[in-house]
Amino acid sequence: MKKKLIFWVEEYFYNPNSTQKLLSLLLLPFSFIYCFCMFLRFKSKKSEDLGVDVISVGNLSVGGSGKTPLVTALASRYEDTAVVLRGYGRESSGLLVVSSGSEILCNVAASGDEAMIYAHKIPGAIVIVSEDRKKGILKAREMGAKIVFLDDAYSKHEIKKLDIVIDVESKNSSCLPSGPFRERLWSQKEALVVKEGRDFKRVVELKNKSDKMSLITAIARPERLDSYLPEVVSKNYFEDHHSFTKSEVFDILQRDKAESILVTYKDFVKLEQFDLKLSLLDMHVEVEENIFKTVDDYRGFGNAKKD
């Protein structure tokens, strides 16, 4: 039931049928109220300098946008780095240090899938999950971080930061609940708007390929993978951040008579514990220098560490 509801909502926001379009139109008055409340919230906040350089990377709409690989690419460029995120879908709560920058300190169930990606992909970075981003930033600073990247924190207007916003194309530009937008790009707030294909591009590498692969993935709007997919026996979509069981994965493997399960890195960090043969659709992004220049200008110097 939960899976069907999530997929229905994704369709409603990004590829609506005629009934969903009508519903969106009926909900438009509530969207105006919601958006006005978000504007008042923005105006009521005063940003606080937390004594460390803070860069937020995210998008204004619900659903996936490619922020995880972009944060990874940016954070990998600098020394004394931390990544702080909410840790959506994790079994833990409160502030948790996932990686000290030299050692991963918990499992994926406690950290959430996205935080574990950062712990694997940026082994020298501190990774912290916390519903309270301010507490997470202060903990990162205490641990020696000089630059903190926030995963999806445009709405944290109470924190002094550089906002990098990924422009996600949508046929529906309305705010919730009529459309997918959680907030507007307020004209009184400075932000760098970046777009895939212009400011960064995805590079996909297929690792551990087999002749017969079944795709299993739990990412938002999984159809985004279609242009990168090799031939697969079947496509099996689960709701974003789904916690897999070994039996449901093994059943698909057996049903398809597949030689391996094809996964993204977000799925890999959850499925590697099951000791099944995995093929990996590994994705990273190549970033234009103008983004690094903006980060360096915000920090007040241009000493980015080259790869």
pLDDT of residue 307: 41
Are 157 and 127 within 8 A, CB to CB? no
Q: What pairing do the DSSP bridges indicate for beta strands 213-217 and 126-129?
A: unpaired
Helix (H) or strand (E) holding 53: strand 53-58
Residue 139 contacts by C-beta under 8 Å, 6 or more apart in sequence?
Answer: 95, 97, 128, 130
Q: pLDDT for 58-67, tens place per residue? A: 999 987 778 9
Identify the pLDDT of residue 170: 78
Q: Max CA-CA distance within the chain? A: 58
Q: Would you say 48 and 291 are in contact if contact means Cβ atoms under 8 Å apart?
A: no
Q: What is the mean pLDDT of the chain?
A: 94
Is the CA virtual torsion 30, 35, 40, 45 positive or negative? positive
The model's pLDDT over 262-293, given as tens digits with 9 standing for 90+, comes to 999 999 999 999 999 999 999 999 999 999 99
Q: What pTM, to 2 d.p., does this model score?
A: 0.92
SS3 26: helix
How sure is the predictor about 97, in pLDDT bands with cuts at 50, 70 and 90?
Answer: very high
Whose tokens are 């998008």? That residue is 59
Contact 70, 202 (CB under 8 A): no
What confidence tens digit (pLDDT) does each residue in 221-237 have? 898 899 899 999 999 99
- DSSP, collapsed to helix, strand or coil, labels residue 193 as strand
pLDDT number for residue 183: 95
Of the ranges 134-143, 153-162, 168-177, 235-244, which one carries the lowest mean pLDDT score? 168-177
**pLDDT given at position 121:** 97
> Amino acid identity of 287?
V
What does the pLDDT look like over 169-189, one tens digit per residue?
Answer: 777 889 999 999 999 999 999
